[in-house]
């Protein structure tokens, strides 16, 4: 599903440049649940941004579902993001003047799905995250956990090939974190490929594979026995 | 383009800060109102001035004789001369593109004594000896009977067409006019028609107190021989009388042995030139109105652009989210442009309505207090409104352009990082 070869990325900081990713190689197969771990500054967010086509690598190859991601203009990148990728952010990033339902329907709108079909689909995904009753509420009327579940529903609505989550539990307390992880595991059980960036060990343990990043290189990549979040909820 | 969701969003964004939106809209509203009011005030002035020209064919000159100021071919300076009836034919033969050349003679005039008598009534009127064409040059409406015709000219019939002012002076209210006789300087003329003139300027009253008789009958009755008092000459629509007048005057000079450089021997009044001067004055006035109006509008538009920039700044993160979700940049640009155009057009329409309402009220007041000198019926026509709307559309586009550009210039990753 995801194939990365010798990925390099550096940022210019005034006169000196900061080499953030120093040759990353890894592949992710369909249906995997991968945690990318590392301390701050290890390059894990940069890697996720490049995977999410929000940022461009300096050199190296990146294939997503056998499509080379290279030399894209913004319009093309937007199309690919919409079709292939779903994003979940640490700070939820819901649009706060739109209701939960409208937020979930947004990616479908960009796919030019008809209004009625859009509403139905969005409602279906809201139902999957257990927030059907909250459809007409604005984000600021929801709790943190609820917001993140709306965000997950939104990411899933476009039926992406890969779900990218940047510290999805970073702003939540542990009980809510486990609820969210439970949801993510269930989505993974349905066969969806998911990448999670986190620095919390217990969250990483709930994935199926942990990739450890340090100073821009992968120092460890191991499959683990998944801890189900269900038991903590 | 006209999707419900897009419009819903436009309304949401613009109504999220009512006070700010209204203040911004006011700039555009005010600009377009001023444009409309200025243009219609100019139109009112134009209507007022042009009314003074009445219905007179504007491509016309009047020409009369004065005394010569240069000696020529053995003739002394200071010599007086008169136009002759033959001059008319030579002008027609030598100068092309003339529509009417009307010789005229006149009796009476400013503060003249009583020259017309009917029974016990008498009055002082201008009496003109004219050809039938004069009705095309100085239009009047024949209200009863008929005007002069060529049979009158050829037979030198002593008939007269009198103005409604003359009629009310000399006749009782319900008296039959046609077929009666009036005595002009002791000569009886048969009244065959009455007329009314539309000209509404200072001497509007005077215009109704004139008497027209056939040129030939006038010459015979009042011993004018073949003299012509003055001429009214109208050119064809394609050519201006101003460019032809040199040729006309030269013909007359040759016939009357006047020094070619004697510029004062033939007097004339070029109505077309006057009319053109007024026309170009109003052209300039209109240009000034547009300039001032658009300048005021411009500051309103800069306000809109400014607010749009602030809105973009506030929504940077939202735009980042949308792009991460896969909205293409062009769609975002379109959204911002539509917001700005919508805002300008709505406020502009309000401005147009306000301006028109203002004009309507001014008109009502003008109607109520009676006519004001040189200011009649200020109005804007549909063309101006369409032009104003076009200006609004373009300016809305311009106002949104820079903000839209800056909105998609931010990379989605940077946009997401802002708080």
From the CB of residue A197, how many other CB atoms can be counted at a distance below 10 Å? 26
Q: Phi and psi of B207, rounded to 5°? A: -60, -30
| Residue A154 belongs to a domain | yes
- How many CB pairs below 8 A link A and B? 63
Number of domains making up chain A: 1
Q: Provide the pLDDT for residue B156.
A: 93
Instruction: Name residue A13's beta-bridge partners.
Output: A16
Best mutation target, A80, A84, A91, A93, to test chain B (most B CBs within 10 A): A93
Nearest CA in chain B to A54: B413
Task: Using a CB–CB cutoff of 8 Å, tell me whether A49 touches chain B.
Answer: yes
Task: Using a CB–CB cutoff of 8 Å, tell me whether B226 touches chain A.
Answer: no
Q: Provide the pLDDT for residue B202.
A: 47
Neighboring chain B residues of A93 at a CB cutoff of 8 Å:
317, 321, 324, 416
Complex ipTM, two decimals? Answer: 0.88
- Alpha-carbon distance of B1 to A205, in angstroms, equals 48
Neighboring chain A residues of B334 at a CB cutoff of 8 Å:
none
Contact state of B325 with A82 under an 8 Å Cβ cutoff: yes
Q: Provide the pLDDT for residue B407.
A: 86
| Residue A138 belongs to a domain | yes
Nearest CA in chain B to A160: B325
CATH for A228: 3.40.50.300
% chain A with pLDDT above 90: 46
- Residue A4 predicted with pLDDT over 80: yes
Task: Using a CB–CB cutoff of 8 Å, tell me whether A82 touches chain B.
Answer: yes
Whose CA is closest to B380, among B31, B29, B34, B26?
Answer: B34
In the predicted model, what is the mean pLDDT of residues A131-153? Answer: 92
Widest distance between CA atoms in chain B: 106
Best mutation target, A109, A115, A154, to test chain B (most B CBs within 10 A): A109
For B70, residues 6+ apart whose C-beta sits below 8 A from its C-beta are: B77, B258, B259, B261, B262, B265
Contact state of A110 with B327 under an 8 Å Cβ cutoff: yes
Q: Which pLDDT tens digits describe chain B residue by residue (419 residues)?
A: 457 778 888 888 888 888 999 999 998 899 889 988 988 888 888 888 877 766 667 889 999 999 999 889 889 888 999 999 999 999 999 998 899 999 999 887 666 778 899 988 888 898 999 999 998 888 888 999 999 999 999 999 999 999 988 998 899 888 899 999 999 998 999 999 999 887 555 456 778 889 999 999 999 999 988 899 999 999 988 888 888 988 999 999 998 999 988 888 999 999 888 888 888 988 898 899 889 988 888 888 888 899 999 988 888 888 888 888 888 888 889 989 999 999 999 999 999 999 989 998 988 888 888 777 777 778 877 888 888 888 888 888 988 998 998 888 888 888 887 76
Q: A-contacting residues of B 276-335, CB under 8 Å?
A: 317-318, 321-331
**Distance, in angstroms, between A147 CA and closest chain B CA?**
15
Range of A175's domain?
A: 29-58+73-232
| Residue A4 belongs to a domain | no
Task: Using a CB–CB cutoff of 8 Å, tell me whether A78 touches chain B.
Answer: yes
Nearest CA in chain B to A114: B3
- Cβ atoms of B14 and B280 within 8 Å: the answer is no
| Residue A12 belongs to a domain | no
- Cβ atoms of A14 and A51 within 8 Å: the answer is no
In the predicted model, what is the mean pLDDT of residues A108-118? Answer: 88
Best mutation target, B16, B315, B326, to test chain A (most A CBs within 10 A): B326
Whose CA is closest to B3, among A118, A101, A155?
Answer: A118
Q: Provide the pLDDT for residue A66.
A: 87
Neighboring chain A residues of B408 at a CB cutoff of 8 Å:
74
| Residue A181 belongs to a domain | yes
Give the helix/strand (H/E) hosting A86: strand A85-88
Task: Using a CB–CB cutoff of 8 Å, tell me whether B413 touches chain A.
Answer: yes
Q: Provide the pLDDT for residue A27.
A: 92
From the CB of residue A98, how many other CB atoms can be counted at a distance below 10 Å? 18
Integer distance in angstroms from the first to the last C-alpha of chain B? 30
Contact state of B328 with A89 under an 8 Å Cβ cutoff: no
Q: Provide the pLDDT for residue B203.
A: 55
Contact state of B412 with A115 under an 8 Å Cβ cutoff: no
| Residue A131 belongs to a domain | yes
Give this prediction's pTM: 0.71
Packed helices B316-324 and A74-84: angle between N→C axes, nearest 10 degrees: 60
A124 confidence band (pLDDT: 50, 70, 90): very high
Q: Provide the pLDDT for residue B1.
A: 45
The four Cα atoms B369, B371, B373, B375 give a dihedral, to 10 degrees, of 100
pLDDT digits (tens, 9 = 90+) for A48-94: 889 988 888 888 999 988 888 888 888 888 888 888 999 999 888 99
Task: Using a CB–CB cutoff of 8 Å, tell me whether B408 touches chain A.
Answer: yes
């Amino acid at each position: 599903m995801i194939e990365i070869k010798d990925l390099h990325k550096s940022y210019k900081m005034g006169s000196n440049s900061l080499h953030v990713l120093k040759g990353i190689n890894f592949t992710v197969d369909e249906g995997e649940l991968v945690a990318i771990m590392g301390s701050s500054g290890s390059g894990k967010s940069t890697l996720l941004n490049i995977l999410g086509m929000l940022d461009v690598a300096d050199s190296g190859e990146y294939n997503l579902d056998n499509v080379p991601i290279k030399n894209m203009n913004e319009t093309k990148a937007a199309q690919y993001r919409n079709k292939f990728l779903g994003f979940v952010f640490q700070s939820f990033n819901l649009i706060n003047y739109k209701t939960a339902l409208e937020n979930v329907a947004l990616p479908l709108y960009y796919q030019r799905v008809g209004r009625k079909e859009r509403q139905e689909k969005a409602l279906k995904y809201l139902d999957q995250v257990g927030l059907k009753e909250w459809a007409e509420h604005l984000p600021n009327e929801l709790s943190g956990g609820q917001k993140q579940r709306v965000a997950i529903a939104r990411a899933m609505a476009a039926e992406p090939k890969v779900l990218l989550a940047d510290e999805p539990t970073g702003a939540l307390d542990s009980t809510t974190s486990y609820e969210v992880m439970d949801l993510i595991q269930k989505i993974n059980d349905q066969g969806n490929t998911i990448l999670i960036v986190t620095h919390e060990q217990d969250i990483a343990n709930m994935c199926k594979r942990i990739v450890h990043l340090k100073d821009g290189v992968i120092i460890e990549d191991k499959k683990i026995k998944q801890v189900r979040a269900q038991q903590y909820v | 383009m006209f999707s419900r969701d897009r419009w819903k969003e436009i309304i949401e964004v613009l109504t999220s800060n009512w006070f700010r939106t209204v203040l911004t809209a006011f700039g555009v509203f005010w600009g377009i109102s001023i444009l409309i009011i200025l243009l219609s005030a100019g139109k009112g002035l134009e209507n007022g001035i042009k009314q003074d020209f009445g219905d007179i064919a504007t491509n016309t000159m009047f020409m009369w004789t004065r005394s010569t100021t240069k000696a020529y071919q053995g003739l002394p300076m200071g010599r007086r001369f008169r136009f002759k009836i033959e001059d008319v034919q030579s002008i027609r033969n030598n100068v092309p593109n003339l529509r009417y050349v009307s010789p005229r003679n006149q009796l009476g005039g400013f503060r003249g004594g009583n020259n017309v008598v009917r029974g016990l009534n008498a009055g002082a009127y201008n009496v003109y000896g004219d050809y039938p064409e004069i009705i095309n040059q100085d239009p009047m409406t024949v209200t009863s009977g008929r005007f002069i015709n060529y049979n009158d000219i050829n037979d030198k019939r002593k008939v007269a067409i009198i103005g409604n002012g003359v009629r009310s002076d000399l006749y009782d209210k319900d008296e039959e006019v046609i077929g009666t006789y009036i005595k002009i300087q002791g000569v009886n003329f048969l009244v065959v028609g009455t007329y009314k003139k539309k000209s509404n300027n200072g001497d509007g009253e005077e215009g109704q107190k004139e008497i027209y008789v056939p040129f030939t009958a006038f010459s015979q009755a009042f011993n004018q021989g073949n003299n012509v008092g003055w001429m009214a000459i109208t050119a064809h629509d394609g050519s201006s009388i101003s460019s032809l007048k040199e040729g006309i005057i030269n013909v007359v000079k040759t016939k009357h042995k006047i020094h070619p450089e004697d510029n004062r021997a033939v007097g004339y009044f070029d109505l077309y030139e006057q009319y053109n001067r007024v026309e170009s004055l109003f052209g300039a006035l209109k240009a000034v109105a547009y300039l001032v109006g658009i300048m005021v509008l411009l500051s309103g538009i800069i306000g809109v652009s400014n607010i749009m920039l602030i809105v973009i700044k506030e929504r940077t993160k939202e735009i980042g989210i949308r792009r991460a979700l896969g909205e293409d940049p062009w769609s975002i640009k379109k959204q911002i442009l539509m917001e700005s155009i919508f805002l300008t057009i709505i406020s502009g329409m309000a401005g147009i309505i306000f301006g028109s309402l203002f004009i309507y009220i001014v008109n009502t007041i003008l109607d109520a207090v009676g006519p004001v000198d040189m200011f009649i019926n200020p109005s804007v026509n549909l063309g101006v409104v369409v032009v104003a709307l076009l200006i609004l559309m373009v300016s809305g586009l311009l106002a949104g352009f820079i903000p839209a550009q800056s909105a998609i210039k931010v990379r989605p990753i940077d946009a997401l990082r802002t708080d």
